[in-house]
Amino acid sequence: MAFRAIVLGLLLVTASGLLATENITILLGDVSRDGWYAKDASLQLQLASPADQYTITASEFYHPALDQSVKAFRFVCTRGRFSDEAVSCEKGVADFVFMGVRQKKVNLNINIKIKSQLYVIHANNLKFSNGFLGLKININKHYWNLIAEGKQIQLASLTGVIPALSASLEAFPTKAELDFSTKANGTLNGVTRAEWHLKANNLSFSDQSFEYIGEGLSGGWRGEVENRKGSWVGSHKLKLNSGELLTPQFYLSAKKHPVFLQFNLAYQPKIKALALKAIDFRQDPLFKFTGEALLSLANTLHVQSVGIRSSPADLSALFKAYFQPVLVNPLFEDIELAGKVAIEFKKSTARSDLALTFDHIHLEQGLQGSDKGRGQFALYDLNGKLNWSDQETDNSQIRWQGGHLFGGITLGPTSLQVNMSGDRISLLESTSIPILDGNLQAEKFELTKGDLGPKVRFQGYLTPISMEAISNAIGWPLLSGQLSGMIPGIAYENGEIAVEGLALVKIFDGDILIKQLKLDDLFGSLPALTANLELKNIDLETLTRAFSFGKITGKLAGRVDGLRLENWAPISFDARFATPPDDESRHRINQKAVDNISNLGGAGVSGAISRSFLRFFEEFGYDRIGISCRLESGVCHMGGIESAEKGYYLVKGGGIPRIDIMGFNRRTDWHVLVSKLKQISQGGAPVIE
């Protein structure tokens, strides 16, 4: 367009003054017309040659269509034609300086119809942004059209040619090599229609904070626009053949799967409104969606409305391709997904709505790190639809056929009714979730957005689960009895789960009160648990039978203060267990239990009869029984119900024959103590020292 204005302007000045002569030089000086001007212009004609030759020069030329003036312009035509009706040049070369770039030996052909004022200009070999540009321009006094072709254009250098790009390229430093072809037509007042094909090679960019990064992007853009009654309409097709795009929200790679995007647009300049219609995005076989959008370009870009509808997509492929690369939470690094999901999103100035439809979803977290080949958390055959809105919205329902926690704790079929509005998700009705052979009854559940992340509130209770089922699920020795309890409230915030108030667990025919229970990084690489426990009326016969400890009758009470587990292994606690003062049940202990207790404390046996005669008695009476352990730095500091002359009492005898069991080891390696307990629970013969 710039070169067209240069040549046309000079030819308009000289065309009306051409004379029929063989050899003439015309010094035109400074000339101007309709806003443009030329300084020191001259025309030299050599009409004696078989092909008319002429030269046009000017020290400076300016046209309103140009951002800057053209300097040192010289055009030499070696094969031309002059007549009263036309001026043409089939072979010409031009030199000039424009925007600081010296153009040399630009091939230039012209054809001017004087009466109709029709101008046809061909130019190629133009230097343009470190590349090359070719132009073909047809213009008369009312209309014009342009055909342009560019090769090896360097995008980073375009700021020198198109100053409007400077701000964008400074915010997003960019490099790329561009090839393009374009056709445009219009009136002297501007463009009325244009179409183009742009090819980008090795496009790379990043913002200043490196949150938005493009690397090695290559592809094409076919587009067309047309001015209809003051509004612009058109269609566009884009294809990305290779490269990667990284944003804080998603990752896009075209290395294996090309990306296609097409849409129609309508732009109203008066109100600066841009409508995108018939949007069609495809990256087969990963994802495809259709939609529309209305944008306001007044001052800053503002989305007034948008609607997107996706086809059902493979959830595993979708997650791995677009989202897993940008999720830094370790929870998402080891997750397996299957099934299909469809997405529908709507946004207007009044509200935003999102709907997710699930079709036979399988979700399993922690699969690779599991010793048993099963992950820490899973849901099988999940179906339903989740509706979310920043305003009030329709309720959601999801259901699953099964699942598990920590590998072996199975979850049964469940259906949930929830409402997801704004920053809040709430359970609409009480729901029973089968766990092993019992149920978790969820009475209340609410998730809200807090300053440090999501906040969760839960309330419910656990119906009896057999200890046998729990033992099999988590690999414990086979236990008897049942586990049940009340859950007054559970809160989750900033990665920590805390039980509010007192949680009650019924086990071994007694009660365990759990206080200040907190779980941190539950599904992470190093889960941690802290709590204080209080045991009441634990039945010793049920307990000792469950762990193959022997037989002890009576009740047991106690406390565990400062309990801390890391990766489910005890790190520290202060535990004390003993016969409660008000226990009136029968107190008996058999020979096997005597041996096992003696082994734990490094103990000795004393009483009315010697150890050699103990084998004649199957059971003994006792008055009190108890043990304590304070775990610090891998060492258990042990004690009993009371101190003795050389140790401490583990069992204080009662009745005849009387038997006392005393412990002498005040410090015991925790791992050694645990190995003894495992040996006892597996029915091994302990060594009494």
Give 510-531 pLDDT, tens digit per residue. Answer: 888 888 888 887 766 788 999 9
- The DSSP letter of residue 552 is B
pLDDT recorded at residue 208: 81
pLDDT recorded at residue 48: 66
pLDDT recorded at residue 454: 77
Q: Report phi then psi at 394, rounded to 5.
A: -65, 150
Q: What percent of the chain has pLDDT over 70?
A: 85
The Cβ-side half-sphere exposure at 352, using a 13 Å CA radius, reads 8
Bridge-based pairing of strands 604-607 and 86-98 is unpaired
Residues lower than pLDDT 70 in the chain:
1-23, 34-35, 47-51, 63-67, 158-172, 329-331, 367-375, 476-477, 479-480, 523-524, 601-617, 656-657, 680-689
Q: How far apart are CA 600 and CA 669, in angstroms?
A: 11
Give the residue from 408, 410, 399, 473 showing the smallest Cα distance to 439.
410
Structural contact between residues 511 and 485, judged by C-beta atoms closer than 8 angstroms: no
Q: How far apart are CA 524 and CA 94, in angstroms?
A: 71
Helix (H) or strand (E) run with residue 453 in it: strand 453-466
Q: Which domains does the chain have, with CATH numbers?
A: 1-141 (no CATH), 154-311 (2.40.350), 539-681 (no CATH)
Q: How far apart are CA 281 and CA 322, in angstroms?
A: 14
Cross-strand bridge partners of residue 57: 42, 74
Q: How far apart are CA 264 and CA 122, in angstroms?
A: 32
Q: How far apart are CA 450 and CA 453, in angstroms?
A: 5
Residues 369-384 pLDDT 10s: 444 445 678 999 999 9
Q: Cβ-count burial of 479 within 10 angstroms (0-12 exposed, 13-18 middle, 19+ buried)?
A: buried
Q: Please report which residue ranges of 406-526 form alpha helices under DSSP H.
A: 467-474
User: What stretches of 16-164 adopt beta strand conformation (E)?
Assistant: 23-33, 36-46, 52-62, 70-82, 86-98, 101-113, 118-128, 131-139, 143-154
| Alpha-carbon separation of residue 685 from 545, 593, 601, 664, 674 (angstroms) | 16, 11, 15, 20, 15
The amino acid at 629: C
